[in-house]
Chains A and B, each alone.
Chain A
Amino acid sequence: MIKTCQSLSTGFDRSFQKEIMKHLTISIVFFYCFCICGNATYNFSLNLQDKKLDSKIKYYFLMMENSISSGIRLGTNKIINIEFEKFTDNHLTLNCHEDNLSNFSYPDLNSLTVYVNQDVLELIESDFISQRNKDCSYTDLLVKSLERSILTFKNASDLSTPYSKERKKQVNRCRLDVLDNSQNGVYQPTIAGCQELIDYDNKKIKYKRIQAVYKKKLFYSTKASKIVVDPSSLTKDGLLKFNVCSQSYQPDLYTSTNLPVKILGFAIVYMTPAFNSSQFGHVAERYIYCVENRMVDTLYEFSQFRPINLNDFKIRYREDLNFLPQDSNQLSPSDETFLISLLKKNYIQTQSNPASYQGYGKMQLENNRDIIEVWLDIDPLLIYKNYLISLRLYKKQKELIKTRNLVDWPDYDLFNNNCTHPVREKLNYIGGELSIDNFDGFLPSFIYNFLKKKKVDKIIFYPAQKTLRQYQMLNIGKSLNFENITFLSSSIDQGQNKFMLIQPDFQGYIGFFLNRGAGMVNFFSALMETTWGLVTSPASLFNNSKELGVNSIKKGLKNSLFSLSEFFGIVRMRYPEPTTITPNEMDYLLNILPHKEPAVLGYLYSKF
């Protein structure tokens, strides 16, 4: 009996040594490979040969570089030279047909150079490059033409295109060959040409991983393909720069004063919980329509009247309020009392051109707040009826201010009348699959989770500072492996935010457990901080440091309390603080981003 046991255990030992250790070693090697690959050098760039070009053109081409699909950029990973040339007989037109692409650029296979039509320079100089029609813009055409030219180069490829059946078979054969050889201790293929195929396949696997897994983690979505990331709201002008309503159109309706109106879109805007903002998140409504040939792009927000609304209130209702004669910004005593009594009321605020720095952008950079718009796929007249509900409430608010009527003014109530209620009302008015029950509409995040699963036109993600940094890392194929660990993260400036050890920003089902784990780790690290404070309190009598003694005890206790909220996961109390914008980022925001077209633009044009 003992003998058999011994032989069994030796057999187990042997098999352990042979099989398990081998697999363990391989997986460790693979892990390190992935880590190294994750930081593989990114070499793709568009190199303008003519150095004397205007900075506007240089920045435009930097934007182009970002606009080329990530599959092509990572698959090609080379410096592409750009030359400008006069194309004879080829005039640039806004024709979205494939044939028109050759009028924009053509490749020179010998020197890795793409020749671009010189007329493009004039278009950029005069800002006409962003002109578009229903299907495409000049910029779209140029991007497509460049992509097509780049793909003709040797070793250039698009990692996002799936394999053909034949290629797939070849890759599988090579993989099997490596597997066979690995049993003899050799980790290389013997079939000719297999090494290249496997190298490419590795790149492709990594690309897929980045696209699918990380996008899903990053962008609060189960269906990453639906989401478009759009940082254009960080520019000064936003959507306003584009003259959407100048074209002739068939109006959807006429107003009572006989003005033609075309309804373009209706979105539910979800603003995530963030640093210094509501811990429950926030929802609002965005409407875009044309009146005559003017575009109206407005955000209706319903929230509690707070001191931050004071300025808006004074400016918006200047005509209806009484100011002191000697000071144009000081309200008369009776109006001042009226204003103070508004503090528990529900306040409707409209904001024009929300997707610009003055609107979303400020929140994205100052509060590290992600903003997501869900553009609903519904009939224009239904949108109009929804709009009227909000408009009438807004007009009623104006009347109430005129008459100083507090009795009819609705109170704000965290459970019965908060920002979700108007949105729920709209969704239920639309009905069908969008009708929402009290549970799905209970919190702003629930509403977003409900909507993203429905058939909607478009979901646009406006990334916060931290998310934008992570998105840019993804965009050049960098790994996000350590982004949740604060002292290793590069998207929150490496440990400037020492208030938590692990950021509980994991997404998905596993994320539910990981976030609780992170809360636990944070709790213990906060306890350590408290203990450190206790230990160093004698020293702090002689040294006025913030990291020692009572200060540390206070901070530690506060942090441990907050990390409990992360552990129980009811309401998270802490979100990463935004950090200083680097000069490179500033350059991107001020010079490159303004050339980028907002993601919603194409959607709006498609409505004509």
Chain B
Amino acid sequence: MFKLILMFFTFVLILPAYAEFQGKTFRYSTSYESFDRVTYNLYGYSESFSSQSYCGGYRTCYHPSMRTERVYIEERIVESSYIDNYKAETRITIYTDKHYSRPYVTYHTHRGRIVNRSYHHNSHYYGWHSSYNHHHDYYYGNYYNYHHHYYYEVDWSTPEGKIITGLHFMATGVEMMALCSDVHDDGLRAICMGFGFGIAASGSASSAQGIDQAIQESRLYKELEKDARIHAEKDLDIE
């Protein structure tokens, strides 16, 4: 009986965790230059670089030296719904730190075009336009310079995350069903088996969803990957 209660609690604890990894968000990072090049090819949109300190509105505020800096991209896929008052398919936010805490600019795309751009003027961002400018020159000094490399963070919402957690749930479920065979009472054993089966089934569903998502994963991400490969290959040839 005690074992059964324990299992029930495990199930209750696991359920909200399972609910959490719903939704499609992709996180990856690349050099700004690579991002700009790929968005031009994909969405026909490119930033023009200038060293002016004012940005927003129609003006762009990318300093030439930012081209080579590493940016962290979060892409949320929301098929044709309104986000931030814009009808959009995806929302792409560029962060300047790997903890995804300092958003810099957000783009919305609709029907394969970038339809909106907005800057995040918040106090803790060390940007060209902020009062931190001096600081930037002093320490930043073109420090981050990443090229043709990007990483794919495995978090619960990514396809990999879902596949991995799904498999984990399946294993837990099967394990639980094995433990249930020790329960002597027939009725309780049936309930226990039911829970075990439920967990295993939800795990397999999550895995299937993850695989499904991996297939139709972000176009931008795929294009960035391709771009990275081509440029890495190009840089090898220094003859």
Contacts and interface: CB of A to CB of B under 8 A. Distances in A.
A294 B235 contact: yes
A240 B235 CA distance: 15
Interface string B214-239: 00000000000000010010011111
A256 B145 CA distance: 24
A131 interface: yes
Contacts of A391: 236-239
Contacts of B232: 296, 352
Interface in A210-253: 236-237, 240, 243, 245-246
B146 A240 contact: yes
A126 B238 contact: no
Contacts of B143: 127-128, 131, 243, 246
A261 B236 CA distance: 11
A298 B236 CA distance: 8
A109 interface: no
Given A126-B126, A243-B144, A295-B147, A131 B238 contact: no
Given A245-B145, A294-B147, A353-B149, A394 B140 contact: no
A289 B238 contact: yes
B238 A243 contact: no
B145 A294 contact: yes
Nearest to B146: A240
B151 interface: yes
Contact of B145 (A236, A246, A261, A298): A246
Contacts of A126: 126, 139
Interface string B125-149: 0100000000000011111111111
A240 B147 CA distance: 9
A291 B237 CA distance: 10
Interface of chain A, main secondary structure: mixed
Contacts of A240: 146, 149
Interface in A246-296: 246, 255-256, 259, 261, 289, 291, 293-296
Interface in B101-135: 126
B213 interface: no
B147 A261 contact: no
B172 interface: no
A293 B145 contact: yes
B238 A394 contact: no
Interface residues of B, number: 21
Contacts of B139: 123, 126, 128, 131
B142 A243 contact: yes
Contacts of A245: 145
A394 B236 contact: yes
Contact of B235 (A243, A296, A392): A296
A51 interface: no
B142 A259 contact: no
A479 interface: no
Contacts of A388: 239
A350 interface: yes
Contacts of A123: 139
Nearest to B228: A352
A246 B149 contact: no
A395 interface: yes
Nearest to B230: A319
A243 B140 contact: no
B239 A246 contact: no
Interface in B69-107: none
A236 B151 contact: yes
B151 to A, nearest CB: 7
Given A243-B144, A245-B145, A246-B68, A291 B151 contact: no
Interface string A331-372: 000000000000000000010110000000000000000000
A353 B126 CA distance: 29
Interface string B142-167: 11111111010000000000000000
Nearest to B149: A240
Contacts of A237: 151
Contacts of B147: 294-295
Nearest to B215: A328
A255 B126 contact: no
Contacts of B68: 243, 246, 293-294
Interface of A: 123, 126-128, 131, 236-237, 240, 243, 245-246, 255-256, 259, 261, 289, 291, 293-296, 298, 315, 350, 352-353, 384, 387-388, 391-392, 394-395
13 contacts: A131-B143, A240-B146, A240-B149, A243-B68, A243-B143, A246-B143, A289-B238, A293-B145, A294-B147, A296-B232, A315-B229, A391-B239, A395-B237
10 smallest CB-CB distances across A and B, nearest first, come from A243-B145, A128-B139, A246-B145, A294-B147, A246-B142, A296-B235, A255-B238, A261-B238, A291-B235, A352-B232
Interface of B: 68, 126, 139-149, 151, 229, 232, 235-239
